[in-house]
Amino acid sequence: MKFSANLGFLWADRPLPDAIRAAGAAGFDAVECHWPYDTPAHAVSAALQDTGLLMLGLNTRRGDVLAGENGLAALAGREAEAKRAIDEAIAYATATGTRNIHVMAGIASGGAAQTCFVGNLRYACDQAAAHGITILIEPLNHYDAPGYFLNTTTQALAIIETVAKANLKLMFDCYHVQLMEGDLTHRLQRLLPHIGHIQFASVPERGPPDRGEVNFSHVFEVIAALGWQAPLGAEYKPSGATETTLGWLNSMRGGAP
């Protein structure tokens, strides 16, 4: 089993290029991030080249964070701003060789939000396709992201089918899915053709995967048996220095590709 370090949480106290190098030194197979835009793309590319790691994914901007915004793509009336955020993400991903972009929906509800989200996702997919980039959407739980437009894999699958673009996939975050829906392994089996990336963290504290209510050793075995080859994203919040939380990394690699 291969693993990717999500640098939105792991080594978050370091500049992004330094965090990439720390992930490489720790033995991760890839990295991913949240919002890298304050770091010049050439600095990220240099760190990736130094370590031989791939950047698997990044997010579109959230909007006005101080005002509580958490994405733009489902905000009716903000389409122009959402498209600028999509264009920015595609440009940064192209410059850094990043494979996936998570288009963040935002805090919204209702039919107008659905129509807006679908339209912006079609735009994102069309623009990203020329660069070989996959667009991801991710259901977020209503404890950590109250009011977020996208909450369940069922809702996400319906949107994916409506948008009907080959490069639109589901970001299956085991932490969010367990809190909202549970039944992780059956959902993984059923949704596998639609999944573009898998992430994990313990439930309910969002810590390393060697604790909490989910047996991730078993979940990872199921994922491997399904033939999944890409690195799984470690998107958890370390309680102290990241290095002190990595005891799971080697122990959970066994018995999988």
**How far is 60 from 39, CA to CA, in rounded Å?**
15
Q: Give residues with Cβ within 8 angstroms of 86, minimum separation 6.
A: 60, 73, 101, 103, 120, 123, 124, 127
pLDDT at 257: 36
**How far is 15 from 153, CA to CA, in rounded Å?**
33
Which portions of the chain are predicted below pLDDT 50?
255-257
Q: Strand 57-59 to strand 100-102: parallel, antiparallel, or no bridges (unpaired)?
A: parallel
Catalytic residues: 138, 235
Q: Where are the domains of the chain?
A: 3-241
The strand order across the sheet containing 168-173 reads 54-55, 30-32, 3-6, 232-234, 195-200, 168-173, 134-137, 100-102, 57-59
pLDDT at 192: 98
Q: Is-contact 125 167, C-beta < 8 A?
A: yes
pLDDT at 20: 98
At 77-99, the pLDDT tens digits run 999 999 999 999 999 999 999 99
Q: Could you tell me the fold of the domain covering 3-241?
A: TIM Barrel (3.20.20)
pLDDT at 254: 65
pTM: 0.96
User: Which residue has tokens 């080859």?
Assistant: 229
**How far is 10 from 234, CA to CA, in rounded Å?**
8
The tally of CA atoms less than 13 A away on the side-chain side of residue 27 is: 12
pLDDT at 256: 41
At 32-73, the pLDDT tens digits run 999 999 999 999 999 999 999 999 999 999 999 999 999 999
User: Looking at this protein, which amino acid is placed at residue 60?
Assistant: T
